[in-house]
A and B are shown apart, each in its own frame.
Chain A
Amino acid sequence: MVFKYHQLVIPSLTVSAGEVLTLTGASGIGKSSLLQWILGVPQPDITIEGQIKLNGEDVGALPIERRQIGLVTQQVDLFPHMTVEQNLLFALAAKQGDDAARHDWVKQELDSVALADYATAYPTELSGGQAARIALLRSLASAPKSILLDEPFSALDVKLRKTIRDFTWTTLTAASMPAILVTHDVQDAPGNIVNLEDYYYD
């Protein structure tokens, strides 16, 4: 399906702590644009009107870095020029704390997913599943108030997909993190599903 000029009129959606809201719909309908808009990426080609509130505060006018919204995507997005440890430290760097404490924290996190041996490995040396776990840890490391998941499982094979899905939901629940998931596959969805096609106007 090709959507050229169309409108989406979406009613107010709310996500509470530890909950995952799933957005779905045919490709091209604007799922990713919507997600990017929430993240704070300017969308020069489309007109968007609306509000984003985090804990009641309107963040619509804030730049990406001040919205405190994390992002995990299909392409994983671990920075290829940094080791696993450096990737995690990079996310932590925005927070206070002395060097030793930060290194300890990274070590703990890696231990918790049994990847301590990979601290000095580069992302290209990781398997898909390993990278997906690190990516989620990294997103959480910067202590966001909410997290966006852009097709995070679609690059994984069926078996791994389930493992990582479970890992993700467990981790997010443990952190009582509100999250929005964009996916093609409704099987990915742990809770509420919103199909954007329901709000589609020509």
Chain B
Amino acid sequence: MISRMVRVAIALLWLILPLGVVLWQSTTASFEGALSDAFRALSGSAWLTFAVTLITSLIVLFGALGLARGKRLSATWTSFIAVPHVAFAIGLLWLVSPSGWLVRIVDALLPMWQGPLQSSWLSSKSAFTLMVALVLKELPFLILMAQANVQQMPVLRWQQQAQALGYSRRRFWWLIVVPALLRRIRLPLYIIAIYTVSVVDIPLLVGPNAPALLAQAVFELNWQFNSNTQGLVHWGSLLLVLVAIVTLVVLRVVEWVLQRWLSSLAASGKRTPVAQTTGKRAGLPWFWAGLAVIIFISLLLQSVQQSWFYPSLWPQGWQWSRWLAEWPYIAPLLYNTWILAVLSATLAWLSAVALLEVQAQRQQHQLHVGWLAMLMVPQLVLVLGWQQTIGPDSGLIGLLWSHTVFCFPYAYLTLHGAYHAYPRRWLWQARSLGYGPWAAWFKILVPMLKRPLALAWAMAFSISVAQYLPTQWLAPVTHPTLTTEAVSIASGGDWRLGSVYALAQWASVWIVFMLALWGTRARN
């Protein structure tokens, strides 16, 4: 009875209401102007979005399948990887742009070579740069998800059998583990794909603009004030949903083909002699950690430099006072960001825990896609619908709600594995000793699951901190956050100040992850 109410309440708040508002809005939306006009105006963007999403998703998928075999990414590194996208993009841009640090180092090493790079490959704004940023950012997420799933499979036992049959480790991995893994990481892969379809802040910073990605195009169109663009905005968001669906279908087909191909390979019985490539991948977590450190240092140097022109390897002038001068303006933004993130993370976390507890009691151990529905709809479409219903000045409650809608599925996803792997017999044991269900839960389950519980909260927190669209569209006046400010300043092109805000944003997330890890560290 209560469990039913819990589920209904959670579904109503974080699924049905947000989707219902959008659906209701779409029935009243004006689809002025012909579809053909809209398509002509936006088809370039739509194709580009489709291509970028598909390529990014496939690289991330195969990267994760290949790399999940390596050393496990530890929780500490996870937290370091949890760099907010905007901070990551700003730092990466400085690192790899044609006049960035890497090129300057090459320039210093090769005196014959003249001037900044002219290639359009890693130009500051291109589809390629965007994909590099997205792949580097999303790959660790999928590797983590894959490794969490591999842990739940009896891989070692399978491997002993396969090796006894003469399969190399690599062959074993691709023929036995990958087919099982593919199905299990389908969901996180879809989340990455949908995120790529609808992300706006990253393309604003590093994406191409002739044409722009569809989400960015719709985002910009929504601010145009002549009335005929409104129809275009609606067609654009419909197109966005279409691109999302087509991408998911293609990814599903890719999975199917891959499954067929791998199983036909496995059925062929071919095996290569055991040739080992061991130990090579042990360095992989260090790649991301190293990247994160370099990006962090770049942002730090940027934030205190006064002038740093090509081809200087080191800032030519410093301005240490920037942080002090900027602090009075960062503080209220920090306050906004933290209040919002703490509240929405807590709401989302409580909902996720309540839902998981109810599911565990009913022994429903499957991850239900339905609860992740909000990650399966392009965010832009959702937020646009909300904005048109509650207006662009919705105050803290509306904003809090919109953030929680996105924090909740991530908290649920992060906590799901650990929560359902938890043996309920610990609780029975405590209750047989005379403790009621609540006491048993608090005294036994919570201390034993404190790390996954804390990390799920930290994850929800970081999701809220990184939210750009809901904040920018629902309450830009009353609640500017570090993220909206960082995007606004970075779009003005002053990296020095942009870095200050990116660092403040990053530090917020990092501190929370560190506290979560430190507060729940194991004995000894």
Show the binding face of A for B, using Cβ within 8 Å. 36, 39-42, 44-45, 63-65, 67-71, 73, 75, 77, 79-81, 90-91, 94, 122, 138-139, 141-142, 144
Contacts and interface: CB of A to CB of B under 8 A. Distances in A.
A39 B443 contact: no
Interface string B412-455: 00000000000111101111111111001001100110000000
Nearest to B444: A79
18 contacts: A41-B428, A44-B362, A44-B363, A45-B363, A64-B431, A64-B432, A65-B434, A65-B437, A68-B434, A70-B433, A73-B425, A75-B423, A75-B425, A77-B426, A77-B429, A79-B429, A91-B433, A94-B434
B523 interface: yes
Contact of A142 (B433, B448, B523): B433
A91 B429 CA distance: 10
Given A64-B432, A81-B447, 17 more contacts: A41-B424, A41-B428, A42-B361, A44-B363, A63-B436, A65-B435, A65-B436, A65-B440, A73-B425, A90-B430, A91-B433, A94-B434, A94-B435, A138-B433, A141-B433, A142-B434, A144-B432
Contacts of A142: 432-434
A94 B426 contact: no
Contacts of A75: 423, 425
A77 B362 contact: no
Contacts of B425: 73, 75, 77
Contacts of B361: 42
B439 to A, nearest CB: 8
Contacts of B434: 65, 68, 91, 94, 142
A67 B432 CA distance: 8
Contacts of A64: 428, 431-432
Contacts of A144: 432
Interface of B: 361-363, 423-426, 428-437, 440, 443-444, 447-448, 523
Nearest 8 interchain pairs by C-beta? A94-B434, A64-B431, A71-B432, A142-B433, A77-B429, A65-B431, A81-B447, A91-B433
A71 B428 contact: yes
B143 to A, nearest CB: 29
A146 to B, nearest CB: 10
A202 to B, nearest CB: 25
Contacts of A40: 431-432
Given A65-B434, A65-B436, A79-B444, A71 B363 contact: no
A40 B432 CA distance: 9
A80 B448 contact: yes
B3 to A, nearest CB: 11
A159 B443 CA distance: 35
A143 B29 CA distance: 68
B448 to A, nearest CB: 6
A190 to B, nearest CB: 22
A116 to B, nearest CB: 21
Contacts of B447: 81
The CB with the most chain A CB atoms within 10 A, among B361, B362, B425, B444, is that of B425
A77 B433 CA distance: 12
Contacts of B523: 122
A79 B424 CA distance: 12
Nearest to A41: B428
Contacts of A71: 428-429, 432
B432 A65 contact: yes
B346 to A, nearest CB: 24
A94 B433 contact: yes
Contacts of B432: 39-40, 64-65, 67, 69-71, 139, 142, 144
A199 B426 CA distance: 31
B426 A79 contact: yes
A39 B428 contact: yes
Nearest to A94: B434
A35 B228 CA distance: 71
Contacts of B443: 90
Contacts of A90: 430, 433, 443
A45 B428 CA distance: 18
Contacts of B435: 65, 94
Contacts of A122: 523
Nearest to A144: B432
B40 to A, nearest CB: 57
Contacts of B430: 79, 90
B438 to A, nearest CB: 10
A69 B433 CA distance: 8
A67 B434 CA distance: 8
A4 B425 CA distance: 23
A42 B435 CA distance: 16
B423 to A, nearest CB: 8
A81 B443 CA distance: 10
B95 to A, nearest CB: 43
Nearest to B361: A42
A74 to B, nearest CB: 10
A198 to B, nearest CB: 28
Contact of A36 (B428, B436, B444): B428
Contacts of B448: 79-81
A36 B363 CA distance: 14
Nearest to A81: B447
Contacts of A69: 432
A187 B245 CA distance: 62
A42 B440 CA distance: 16
